[in-house]
Structure 1
Amino acid sequence: MNDKKSHEVLVMSQLVQSIANVCGVKEVIDLGAGKGYLSSYLSMKYNLKVYGIDSSDTNTDGANRRNRKLKKFWKAYKEDAKGASKIQESAQNNDYLLPNYSCQEVITDREFPNPKSCFPKLEELSVSHGVESINVLSEWKSGQESLCSTSQSAESDKTSAFLNILPADAVEEKTLSESICKSLSEQEKEQRKIENIRMKEQRCSHVYLPLTCKITEETDLNDIIEDLEESIMVGLHTCGDLAPNTLRIFTARSEIKAVCSVGCCYHLLSEEFESPTEERTVTTWGFPMSMHLKETSWFFGRNARMSACLALERVAVGQGLATESLFYRAVLQVILKDCFGITQSGKRVGKIFSKSGNFTDYVRKSLKKLGHDDSKISDKNITAYYEKYKPRQNELEAFNMLKVLLAPCIEALILLDRLHYLKEQNNLAWSGLVKLFDPVKSPRCYSVVSMKKPKDTIY
């Protein structure tokens, strides 16, 4: 894991563990688990039973391989930590037992003294400290003996008092024959050994289970998890519609007692009112979720949702925008319009900038990825476009800075819509937005957290 992911996993796992303790559950469902960083940490660090669900077979296979390796290293780590703890404890005990006296200075041209002579004898130690030391030691010893006998007596009294409360037939007095351990036969020993191994394998195999499934609002968790119990549903940077679907599943399933969801990739959200004239086959949308915004037919549009993904805090500390790549993309858009007559396209260029040596290389790779014939434009014309718009790069940078300033407003509206949706439900005890991460390390730092009311609560 890189520093960003380590920070996210450490902080979020602590919150999930706290929620699990409050709700009294030991099972976690991690949606969009990816490579299983959060899932494996929750299972190994906090001994939670975790189901990591991801839509990609590649991620699930990678999570399985990583989980097998982690189990080996985790076992070795725990053994090393236990050994180090014992060594430290032993050293502390030895330091406590040895008198606090230093050996005399060693001179190399003389004979080394006997190591035992470096420490005073017990009799010398007592005498050198005078009568007061002896009295203190005597009082301490007698006090310890008195304390020991008192504690044993008190413990005996407590046991007797507890047994006296019980009915006469509730306590069986052990006979001498019952207190003696019976020797087991070889067959019984072997059976117990096999049973212990089987139980241990079951405990280990159920710690973290990576699963592959695309999650939607209609997904039945019982089809994925056979022994579904009361659990918490979590998601660390769930992309697009997966974050709102996580909240919908949480409100619909009685087994899910709490949710902790950190969303991302707002540009992948589906919007119900973005293109009202188009024919629609989708019945569930990523935005809006709340009835309040549905009644006003609110929508952003893709450009605004793209702006919500920008990181104001990073820009503020000098980790600015990738202005050069943004400039490349803007000039490419002009070329697509002038030379190919394209103003909108469902295809995406992606991360070609980092793989390109210069602007000409960038344009040709982008045209091929978008499915266009790059022979329609020469290198000379591509360079001419670049030189024409290069003086206006500062204008583009200023425009993007304006988008950065508006980014928190757009993200806040998306998150508040999700929170409002939860507030509209009647079976929830508490819902809120929690700022989990350092926004410089992890710009998508807010988590939607909610917990359900206990079953016996009257609504």
Structure 2
Amino acid sequence: MIPSQPLPLAEEWTDPDAYVEALLSFANSSAIFRHLCGGVHILDFLTREPDLYTSLLPEHWRTFFDQHDIQDILDLLLRDDIRPLLDQSREAAARGGESTAQWRGAPLPPLDLLEYIHQIRRLSLGRDFTPAQPGTPTIPRKIAVGMNVKKYHEVAHFSKYVDSLCDTVNEQRGDPITHIVDFGSGQSYLGRTLACAPYNRHIVAIERKHQFISGAKGMDIHAKLQEKKRVNMYNKKLVNCKTCAEPDAPAETDADRQESANVKADATEGPSDAAGGEEDMAMINVFRDISLAPGEIGFAPYRNVPKTATEEEVDPEKPRGKMDYIEHEIKDGYLEPIIKDVIETEPVEGETEAQGGSKDANVMVISLHSCGNLLHHGVRSLTMNPSVKAIAMIGCCYNLVTERLGPATYKLPILRSMHPRLTKDAVAYDPHGFPMSKRFEVYEHESGTGMKLNITARSMSLQAPYNWSKKDSEEFFTRHFYRSLLQRMLVDRKVVAKPKNPDNSDNLYDESTEPEDAGNPLIVGSLRKSAFVSFSAYANAAVTKLGRDPNFGEKVKAGMADLTVEDFDRYVKDYWYAKKNLSVVWSLMAFSAALVEAIIVVDRWQFLREHDSVKECWVEPVFEYKESPRNLAVIGIKK
């Protein structure tokens, strides 16, 4: 199961250290990469003078882009084989002239643009998924309740992968995994699948939200991992009803009839009927919640009787795994208190605690799309806890990862204006943040020391441009154009301040003195699909939502109150030329951000490499990129 190469790289890379060096060098030396990934924000696109498109991209790039449709440009960035184009351009450059060859009816792309595309592609991690075994794994319907198509695909493949990894750990260490700890388990789709057949693993799910745990336990009952609590209802009206018979009772035998006759005779000789009724009532109140075995109190127990062991054993659908839940907010990777209190106190099967049957736990920590630093805690758990023998972690929400080394720097003065939206993370110096590894922390480059990624860069790394269809991309571009155009209107109407363009000496992360500064924008968030049929519909929906802001709502409503549909249409007409420019920049940003994800994932792998206690570590895709783009798992096995 352990791959021949620890990272999913292009064929040209045979040495992972050479790849890491090339990745760090390019990410810190390429000005265009640094500016596309972290230096620009779509809200600033129409509020700068000169605009970002002119300031950011070289003139010969812009000339080339003007000659082609945005879908052709996406093909060049993402899909076309650029090696022939690159060879032709290099040959022409070596001769000192321009190539006469064409691409889609126009001159070849600029050589430095082709070189940039080539570098991004060769340094990106491979995302192609090849299952270890043919066929698509399935999940029983009772376990798959609540899963959408994406979640089903993720859980089906990753659960199979984790089970196989447990076998690999056993082969490598000669010590089987006894428990699997699921970080940030949520609704426990992954854990529940692993606890049921055919895996039957013992899962410890750690989740901080009580409502998620409560919902997960309800699904466990449906999957037969837990028995539903039965409430025995007591109907007082039926206590003295002589005509109601037990529906499930067997046919009355002669002995039963004789016993019944004796009981009636006793009742006739006893106290009054009223007294007898009270006595019967008392007996039922005492025993109504007790399950009686055959032979007790003289009648057969056909209700409230637990299944016998033999009945449970013959049930092929009953899971043999186990789910334990812990409501806990994970703040670091230290798990020993949980392992000691929850796992190691469990007796070995067939022995009691008094016999000393508890054994040391061999734990694997897993996570399917842990947000932000939670994945860092999971990776660190392998090095911090003696009981943790392996990890399998898939991250997401890189925008929620904190920064450990402080703010990044940019060469273009226009990109260095105040952005308070970046300040909080940049100056946090969070010890749990990015980067994790020493190599990334001490890497020296012309701008300073250490690999740094701000929240804008990390947010862009969540894009999945290789999954874009023509319809998808056009919708993205329209939404971003509408938002940047709305920002232009907010600036023109004095609702927010116009961005400043300070000198080089100014600090990008100085605190803003104006709370409504354009660098700290009003957040529109998600809107209904109907809001995107036109810009006027979008602007009205956005202004209505912004009007509810407790701090700036009244200012927004006052500043945008007298606008008409004609005003909105005029803005669209005046800035329509910028939509394609914005689309080009957004495409370049999303394409380039593949390296941001590579940097984050490789840093986590590098962290494991730097610890002597780790025997094997690698990164590989564990499900299809087209179904779930965040498909890279960081794997580690302890010595």
TM-score with structure 2 setting the length: 0.48
Aligned partner (choices 217, 222, 232) of residue 364 of structure 2: 232
Could you give the per-residue CA deviations for residues 383-425 of structure 1, whole angstroms, max 9, x where no partner exists?
5544433332111111111012112111111111111100000
Q: Which residue is equivalent to 1:25?
A: 177
Matched, 1:292 2:448: no
**Counterpart for residue 388 of structure 1:** 574
Matched, 1:331 2:485: yes
| Residues 25 and 445 of structure 1, relative CA distance in 2, 3 Å threshold | same
Q: Which moved more, 1:39-48 or 1:340-349?
A: 340-349
- Give the secondary-structure state (helix, strand or coil) at the position aligned to 2:518: coil
Supply the distance in 2 between the matched residues of 1:451 and 1:218 (Cα, whole angstroms).
16
Distance 2:325 2:470 in 1: 38
**3-state SS of paired residue (1:275):** coil
Is this contact kept in 1: 2:397–2:462, CA < 8 A? Answer: yes
Q: Does 1:10 align with 2:156?
A: yes
1:411 aligns with 2:597: yes
Distance 1:19 1:446, change over 3 A: same
Task: Quote the offset at 1:223 in angstroms.
Answer: 4.2
Instruction: State whether structure 2 residue 193 is matched by structure 1 residue 41.
Output: yes
What is the aligned counterpart of 2:380 among 248, 251, 257?
248
Change in Cα spacing, 1:56 to 1:326, as seen in structure 2 (3 Å) is farther
Tell whether the 8 Å contact from 1:313 to 1:443 is kept in structure 2 after alignment: no
Higher relative contact order (CA 8 A, sep 6+): 2
The structure-2 alpha-carbon separation of the partners of 1:214 and 1:414, relative to structure 1 and needing over 3 Å to count, comes to same
Deviation at 1:232, TM superposition (A): 0.7
Aligned to 1:212: 327
CA distance in 1 between counterparts of 2:320 and 2:330 reads 24
Q: Quick check: 1:311 aligned with 2:464? A: yes
The residue aligned with 1:363 is 542
1:375 to 546, 549, 557: 557
Alpha-carbon deviation of 1:280? 5.9
Contact 2:196/2:225, CA 8 A, preserved across alignment: no
Match of 2:613 in 1: 427
Matched AA of 2:151: K
Aligned letter for 1:64? K
| Corresponding residue for residue 439 of structure 1 | 625
> Which residue identity is paired with 2:496?
F
Q: Does 1:340 align with 2:496?
A: yes
Q: Return the letter of the residue paired with 1:61.
A: S
1:98-120 alpha-carbon deviations (Å, 9 max, x no partner): xxxxxxxxxxxxxxxxxxxxxxx
Which amino acid counterpart does residue 2 of structure 1 have in structure 2? N
Q: Indicate the SS of the match to 1:226.
A: helix
- The aligned amino acid for 1:291 is K
**Alpha-carbon distance change, 283 to 352 in structure 1, aligned in 2, over 3 angstroms:** same
Question: What amino acid does structure 2 have at the position aligned with 1:428?
Answer: V
Deviations along 1:359-406, one digit per CA (max 9) or x if unpaired, are: 123321441355422322123355554443333211111111101211
Q: Is the 8 A contact 2:605 2:619 kept in 1?
A: yes
Q: Deviations over 1:298-349 (max 9, x none)?
A: 2111221111111032027875362222223222333444422232338743
User: Is the CA contact 2:461–2:596 (under 8 Å) kept in the aligned structure 1?
Assistant: yes
Cα separation, 2, equivalents of 1:259 and 1:318? 39
Which structure: greater helix fraction? 1
- Asked whether the 8 Å contact 1:349–1:370 carries over to 2, the reply is no
SS at match of 1:71: coil
CA deviations 1:36-71 (Å, max 9, x no partner) are: 111110111311111222222222222122222222
- Give the drift of 1:274: 3.5
SS at match of 2:223: helix
CA–CA separation in structure 1 for the residues paired with 2:530 and 2:327 = 31
The residue type equivalent to 2:330 in the other structure is I
Q: Is the 8 A contact 1:312 1:408 kept in 2?
A: no
Superposition CA RMSD, Å? 3.5
TM-score (norm 1): 0.65
Q: Secondary structure of 1:431's partner?
A: strand
Residue 233 of structure 2: aligned partner: none
Give, in whole Å, the separation in 1 of the partners of 2:485 and 2:398.
Answer: 25
How big is the shift at 1:17?
A: 0.4
Give the match for residue 457 of structure 1.
none
Q: 1:322 corresponds to which residue?
A: 476
Q: Secondary structure at the match of 1:286?
A: coil
Distance 2:584 2:227 in 1: 50
Q: Kindly state the Cα deviation for residue 267 of structure 1 after the two structures are TM-superposed.
A: 1.1
Q: One-letter code of the match for 2:377?
A: N
Say whether residues 1:56 and 2:202 are aligned partners: no
2:478 maps to a residue whose letter is E
- In the aligned structure 2, how far is the partner of 1:363 from the partner of 1:297? 40
- Within 2, Cα distance between the matches of 1:422 and 1:369? 47
CA distance in structure 1 between the aligned counterparts of 2:598 and 2:477, rounded to whole angstroms: 25
Contact kept, 8 Å, 2:183 with 2:205, in 1: the verdict is: yes
Equivalent residues of 1:336, 1:343 under 8 A apart:
no
Q: Distance in 1 between matches of 2:472 and 2:522?
A: 29
CA contact (8 A) 1:325 1:353 kept: no
AA aligned opposite 2:456: N
SS across alignment from 2:405? coil
The worse-fitting range, judged by mean Cα deviation, of 332-341 and 239-248 is 332-341
Q: Post-superposition shift, 1:25?
A: 1.1
> Does structure 1 retain, via aligned residues, the 8 Å contact 2:402–2:428?
no
Equivalent residue number for residue 122 of structure 2: none
- Separation in 1 of the partners of 2:427 and 2:336? 27
Residue 323 of structure 1: SS of its match in structure 2? helix
Asked whether the 8 Å contact 1:434–1:447 carries over to 2, the reply is: yes
Kept in 1, the 8 Å contact 2:531–2:541? The answer is yes
Look up the equivalent residue of 1:418 and give its one-letter code.
R
The residue identity in structure 1 corresponding to 2:209 is S
Letter in structure 1 aligned against 2:435: P
Q: 1:265 aligns with which of 388, 397, 400?
A: 397
Shift of 1:26: 3.0
Q: Structure 2 vs 1, CA of residues 72 and 26 (structure 1 numbering), >3 Å: closer, same or farther?
A: closer
Distance 1:290 1:303 in 2: 21
The SS at the match of 2:588 is: helix
Tell me the percent identity: 23
The Cα shift of 1:9 comes to 0.5
Structure 1: where are the runs of 5+ without partners?
76-184, 454-459
| Distance in structure 2 (CA, Å) of the matches to 1:243 and 1:287 | 11
Whole-angstrom CA distance in 2 between matches of 1:346 and 1:231:
45
> d(CA) in 2 for partners of 1:207 and 1:301?
41
8 Å CA contact 1:274–1:300 kept in 2: the answer is no
Task: Name the SS of the counterpart of 1:352 in structure 2.
Answer: coil
Cα distance in 2 for partners of 1:241, 1:330 equals: 30
Amino acid at match of 1:273: L
CA distance, structure 1, for counterparts of residue 157 and residue 469 of structure 2: 23
